[in-house]
Structure 1
Amino acid sequence: MKSVFSLVILALLALVTAETHTWYYTANWVDGVNPDGVFERRMIGFNGSWPLPTLRVKKGDRVNFYLTNGFDDRNTSLHFHGMFQRGTNQMDGPEMVTQCPIPPGETMLYNFTVDEQVGSYWYHSHTSGQYGDGMRGVFIIEEPSKDDYPYDYDEEVVLTLNEHYHEESDKLMPKFLSRFNPTGAELIPQNILFNETRNVTWKVEPNKTYLLRIINTGRFLSQYVWMEDHDMTIVEVDGVYVERNTTNLIYITVAQRYTVLVTTKNSTDKNYAFMHRLDPDMLDTQPDDLQLNGTNTIMYNEELGEAESYDLTQDEIDAYFDDYYLVPLNKEKLYDDADYTVTIQVQMDNLGDGINYAFFNNITYTKPRVPTLLTVLSAGDEATNELVYGTNTNTFVLQKDDVVDIVLNNLDTGKHPFHLHGHVFQLIERHEPIDDDEDPVAFNASDHAEWPEYPMMRDTVFLQPQSYMVLRFKADNPGVWLFHCHIEWHLDQGLAIQLVEDPMGIQNNATQQITDNHKEICEKVGVPWKGNAAGNDVNLLDLSGENVQHKRLPTGFTAKGIVALVFSCVAGVVGLAAIAFYGMHDIENVEERVARDLAIDLEDEDDSAEIVRQTSSTEGSSTHKH
């Protein structure tokens, strides 16, 4: 009885001490930004400033975030990455999944409570290209007091990793999704960033323990992180506390977060390199001017200057820490056997327009005409029928509290970091990578590795090339949750599915109902807020007019064939252009040039030519007379 009473008192205290954080931000372009010190361009900021602010709340706090679209030519949206949004699914952010996009000049209120999560998170636009152009920031949820944190530390530091393009996404995307890029090669960035810049100095004090929050807010590349002669002790991943695990090298994909403890040295007689390196295996080509490594300084003594680069051998790089072996601090056991299994194959291929797309089970995600959550809320009893969500949204309906396995078989030769909205999942198996010259390996339910007793848990995990992995989670959070590759190029190619979790539970929850503000946003942007994927609210099973993927190429066409066809056409066009140019061009001294090439004496040739002309004339005259 005493323990129950104590819990009640603690709950009441939490309500009393909880704060409401209200922010007003306008998303707009900020001119004259030079993140890498090499090239000046504009970036997307808030209220005329970039980088975006780091937002901090405490567990149990309320968030009121007013986002105004300050653009005059594009829509926008906002996603708080890793937030469960329990009971507030429409605040999750991906446009046409849980919300209508915000049109220019309009304001949407994102309001939710962070009542069960702590740790390192971030926020970003979920509208194509925008977070790569700068619309991204850090979101930290602290324990109610520092004493509640499970590990001791003296000071906290936030570190973001990113890559940087000199061109804006409006110019990059047409180059990427193009029939002239038939292999789907991702565009190569010009630089990698460390806290949104380069060559950073981190001033430290000796014999001190720092809590370092490392967040990869990039759109494409995984990065390696290491420190010269310093270890990192991992204590949290993606908002999940884990048992201590010490390493000297971390591999962090886009969207992942690692929180580590770093204890500094007693002496100040040396400064040390703090290194990060992009994963070159993810690049189709490596431009000569692309620097793979970034060198920063752990500054003990300013008089000693910046540290020199501290490189690792390839063998050392290959020995990075594998997050599969992390154990949750709460010792969450492997969930019961799955009630439902979603098996999906990852593949890249070309459609009839010649563009390379990404597919789950031969379907490339194509946005519906009505946000899927709003279809759930307006579909009545048909909400349990996957058909109402469209044939090209790759939607799976999940029953309340089911244990769900997602089995991913990768037919692609690249790595993919997959993120699940609204949940953390258990990584129960991940097969090693398979070389390009071998056949892909798929999961075999009757012959697989032994699964761990306490699986690692997080919301973003990477899939190895031509390999497979198995994820497990509980469907205990009613909502529409996107599951997708967090490489933004691949999401734009269509590498996503939708999980509609307990649709009747969504309908019956008062806090899930569409807000008046949300309805107004939909009306202003011209998107219906009820009906099926085709916008039909009369006959929900009639999908006439829905958005669908392009038609398939004729049988026999392959990516290599398309490459050959495209470049043959290009070569042909260039050849014809050359013929036309030189054929119409007046070339000086052409007779002399040809004669020189053929080793002909023009003087002798002139005499011969005159004889021929005279002979021809004589013969012609005789014939005429006869």
Structure 2
Amino acid sequence: MKLTSFLLFSFITSLVCAETHTWWFETGWVDANPDGTFERKMIGFNNSWPLPTLRVKKGDRIQLYLINGFETENTTLHFHGLFQEGSNQMDGPEYVTQCPIPAGQTYLYNFTVTQVGTFWYHSHTQGQYGDGMRGVFIIEDDDFPYKDDYDEEVVLTLSEHYHDTATVLVPSFLSRFNPTGAEPIPQNTLFNESRNVTWQVEPNKTYLVRIINMGGFVSQYLYMEDHEFTIVEVDGIYVEKNTTDLLYITVAQRYTVLITTKNDTSRNYAFMNKIDDDMLDVIPSDLILNSTNYIVYNQTAFEEEAPSEYFLDSIDDYFDDFYLRPLNNATLLDDPDYTVTVDVVMDNLGNGVNYAFFNNITYTAPKTPTLATVFAAGDDNTNPIVYGTNTNAFVLQKDDIVDIVLNNQDTGKHPFHLHGHVFQLIERHEEIPDTESPVAFNISDHAEWPEHPMSRDVVYVRPQSYIVMRFKADNPGVWYFHCHIEWHLDQGLALTLIEDPQGIVSDSRQALTDDFKDACSAHGIPLDANAAGNSVDMLDLSGENVQHKPLPSGFTARGIVALVFSVIAAFLGLAAIAVYGMADIKDVEERVARGLDVDIDDDDDQEEESNVANEGGYTQASNQQQ
């Protein structure tokens, strides 16, 4: 009885202490020069960029009014890593949990925060967060277990930076003239949305540093000259302390670390962020792979001479997050009730464009958002067919233990993110060289799984290798699972998990809002329909959006490359013939003779060599002149 009274008192106290945060943000283009070398437009809020850091506490209410201030573009907003319990439609990905917000319309993201830690928010509309629509979202914790271990908090963001906008980059990337699917190469990396940043520190002080990779492509290495990181949190999960001198951070991952400064203030130190250049198809000569920032103890000494670029003996000795242990000592979940096995492949379809596939399906958005179909389908909402054949839809039962087995048959690394959950990473196989065949997970022959596995919402898979992730389906909703490399998501590397669809419908908190309905209405998108927009027969997918037809038998990516460049070479050759054939070229006989390695010192020799040339199929201008 006393315990019940205490819990009731705690609940009432949390409601009293909770705060409602109301923000009005309008999207728009802002002039900026993040890397100091090129001015371009970035997507800001309320005519300002970078976007603001938002701070809340567990239990707080968020009311964020997003005004689409673009002239023609749609937009959305996703709070990365937030579970959105009971508020699935606030999750953000368009055609998954909402319709895109049309230009001029306002959408209210309204939810209660149930977590703590380091998160971020970004657009979930193609290419927009790479154009700057991204910001930090911190959920403060009054009971933070390491609150007595630091003196001051600092936020550090990482990303790559392009001088072109997504409207230029995406069409050239998803093009038959890019048949290998080579990702656009960034012009720079950013460190707190800038470059060559100075961090003013005080001696003998411990800083809590929240590190977020808000980029859309490259993983980055992070290291400091003669300083160390002590990891205390990843992706909103507190972990037992681990100290390292080298972090490896994929896009969308977060690390919260403790950094203790020195007593001596006589010198300053380099703080390096380095691109994982294994992810680049080519490395331009002007791309700075190792970017130098500065830990400044002594401003006078810094003004006289800044620290020089700092190198480690080996970049391969980065900390492997697999060996982190959750502070709550959570144990490995029970054996799975359901296993989702997917193979990752990058390949070309009949239009010549390179796409990304889960089990030979490249995600193609449905005509009606999947969440709307959950409500529309009635008893059929447990049948994955209603969600389309090209959405990689899997229906999960309430409280099932679910394994996602991901076999990467591609030669690149991929960071994968699950919305609505964290998952336990229970196995990650070593990289397989591209000279060998890919290795797939074998349930009968695998490594020993950890008793207390690391949990987070973004994990990476190594080339031609596999990972195994486990989670409990205890959060009813439609949850996106996708590669967080923006280019690969654009290529279709995504699937949808429809978790406890009957539970979604029966939860009054999940009822579709007027903003949801208005956004769909503005686009003419039906709400009471299946993936094909069919409202009459939920099992009829006639006219659904599907991927392009496959290439004709025998075509490969290399064959396409050869074909494309052969065509280009042919056009160049024809152009050259046209130009030179119509031109009045001076001393043409001498040029041709030199090309044939003949002597034209006298008329007899010239005529003799001309006859030889004619026998070889050439017609010389010298014959016409004679």
For the superposition of Structure 1 and Structure 2, which TM-score range results when normalised by the shorter chain?
over 0.9
Q: Is 2:70 the partner of 1:71?
A: yes
Contact 2:343 2:406 in 1 (8 A): yes
Residue in structure 2 matching 1:294, options 285, 291, 295: 291
C-alpha contact (below 8 Å) 2:160/2:189 kept by paired residues: yes
Alignment of 1:227-626 (within 5 A): 227-305=224-302, 307-313=306-312, 316-591=314-589, 593-594=591-592, 598-601=598-601
Cα deviation 1:275-299 (Å, max 9, x = unaligned): 1101011011111110111111111
Q: 1:587 to 1:101 in 2, by over 3 A?
A: same
Aligned-partner Cα distance in 2 for 1:146–1:152: 13
The match for 1:34 is 33
Q: 2:185 aligns with which of 188, 197, 200?
A: 188
Shift in Å, 1:530: 2.2
Is the Cα contact below 8 Å between 1:298 and 1:307 reproduced in 2? Answer: no
Once the two structures are superposed, what CA deviation does each residue of 1:328-365 show, in whole Å capped at 9, x if it has no partner?
11111100000000000001000001111000000000
5+ residue gaps in structure 1? 609-626
Answer yes or no: is 1:220 the counterpart of 2:200: no
Aligned-pair RMSD on alpha carbons? 1.7
* Partner Cα separation in structure 2 for residue 491 and residue 383 of structure 1: 26
Aligned to 1:159: 156
Moved more, 260-269 or 594-603: 594-603
Question: How far 1:555 moved relative to its partner?
Answer: 1.4
Between 1:283-292 and 1:3-12, the stretch displaced more is 3-12
Q: Does the CA contact (< 8 Å) of 2:590 and 2:600 recur in 1?
A: no
Matched, 1:13 2:10: no
| Counterpart contact for 2:600–2:606, Cα < 8 Å | no
SS in 2 for 1:48: coil
How many angstroms apart in 2 are the aligned matches of 1:239 and 1:603?
88
Change (3 A) 1:434 1:309: farther
1:560 and 1:321 map into 2 onto residues whose CA distance is 36
Q: Cα deviation per residue 1:104-158 (whole Å; 9 max; x = unaligned)?
A: 000000000002x000000000000000000000000001x36665552111000
1:275–1:309 Cα contact (<8 Å) kept: no
Equivalences, count: 605
CA contact (8 A) 2:599 2:606 kept: no
| Whole-Å separation in 1 of the counterparts to 2:601 and 2:185 | 56
Please list the CA deviations of residues 503-523 of structure 1 after superposition, one character each: whole Å capped at 9, or x if unmatched: 000111111111112111111
Structure 2 distance, partners of 1:318, 1:395, is 37
Q: Deviations over 1:400-446 (max 9, x none)?
A: 00000000001000000000000000000000101110111110001
8 Å contact 1:102–1:525 — kept in the other structure? no
Structure 2 unpaired stretches of 5+: 609-626
Q: Tell me which amino acid in the other structure corresponds to 1:80.
A: F
Structure 1 CA distance, aligned partners of 2:80 and 2:607?
Answer: 88
Contact 1:296 1:307 in 2 (8 A): no
More deviation in 585-594 or 72-81? Answer: 585-594
Of 75-84 and 559-568, the range deviating more from structure 2: 559-568
User: Which amino acid in structure 2 is aligned with residue 251 of structure 1?
Assistant: Y
| One-letter amino acid matched to 2:161 | H
Instruction: Provide the rounded CA distance (Å) in 1 between the counterparts of 2:587 and 2:188.
Output: 51
Q: Are 1:208 and 2:190 counterparts?
A: no
* 2:617 equivalent in structure 1: none
In structure 2, relative to structure 1, the CA distance for the partners of 1:605 and 1:246 (3 Å cut) is: closer
**C-alpha deviations, 1:16-41, integer Å up to 9, x for none?**
0100000000011012x110001111
In the aligned structure 2, how far is the partner of 1:135 from the partner of 1:421? 19
CA distance in 1, matches of 2:40, 2:233: 35
Q: Secondary structure at the residue paired with 1:317? A: coil
Distance 1:215 1:407 in 2: 26
Displacement after TM superposition at 1:606 (Å) = 10
Q: Partners of 2:508 and 2:347 in 1: how far apart?
A: 43
Cα distance in 1 for partners of 2:377, 2:259 equals 52
Deviation at 1:8, TM superposition (A): 2.3
Is contact 2:403-2:470 (8 Å) kept? yes
Partner of 1:624: none
Bigger radius of gyration? 1
Kindly state the Cα deviation for residue 587 of structure 1 after the two structures are TM-superposed: 2.2
| Cα separation, 1, equivalents of 2:591 and 2:332 | 82
SS at match of 1:335: coil
Compared with structure 1, are the counterparts of its residues 603 and 316 closer, same or farther at alpha carbon in structure 2 (3 Å cutoff)? closer
Shift, 1:4, TM fit: 3.6
Query: Match of 2:578, SS?
Result: helix
Deviations 1:347-393 (A, max 9, x none): 10000011110000000000000000000011100100110000100
Shift of residue 206, structure 1, vs aligned partner:
1.1
Question: Match of 1:268, SS?
Answer: coil
Q: Which moved more, 1:522-531 or 1:385-394?
A: 522-531
Could you say which residue in structure 2 is the equivalent of 1:95? 94
SS in 1 for 2:350: coil
In the aligned structure 2, how far is the partner of 1:180 from the partner of 1:493? 15
Specify the SS of the correspondent of 1:345.
strand
Give a deviation string over 1:32-58, Cα, whole Å, max 9, x none.
x11000111110000111000000001
Contact conserved, 2:211 with 2:256, CA < 8 A, in 1? yes
1:173 aligns with 2:167: no
- Residue type at the aligned position of 1:304: A
Residue 227 of structure 1, CA deviation: 1.1
Task: Name the counterpart of 1:59.
Answer: 58
Distance in 2, matches of 1:381 and 1:607, equals: 92
Partners of 1:97 and 1:323 in 2: CA distance: 30
| Counterpart for residue 616 of structure 2 | none
Q: 1:136 aligns with which of 119, 134, 137?
A: 134
Q: Structure 1 residues 294 and 380, CA, compared in 2 at 3 Å: closer, same or farther?
A: same
Deviations 1:150-206 (A, max 9, x none): 552111000000000011111111111111111111111000000000011111111
Q: How many angstroms apart in 1 are the aligned matches of 2:352 and 2:148? A: 53
- Cα shift at 1:307: 3.9
1:205 is matched by which residue type in structure 2? E
Which residue type is aligned with residue 218 of structure 2? L
Q: What are the within-5 Å matches in structure 2 for residues 88-127 of structure 1?
A: 88-115=87-114, 117-127=115-125
8 A Cα contact 1:595 1:602, kept in partner: no
Measure the CA separation in 1 of the matches of 2:552 and 2:214.
39
8 Å Cα contact 1:347/1:358 also seen in 2? yes
| TM-score for both structures, normalised by structure 2 | 0.94
Secondary structure class of the residue paired with 2:543: coil
For the 8 Å contact 2:364–2:492, the answer to whether it is kept is: yes
Normalising by structure 1, we get a TM-score of 0.94
Amino acid at match of 2:85: R
SS in 2 for 1:304: helix
Counterpart CA distance in 2 for 1:307 and 1:365 is 48
Q: In structure 2, the residue corresponding to 1:90 is in which secondary structure?
A: helix
Cα offset, 1:472, TM superposition: 0.1
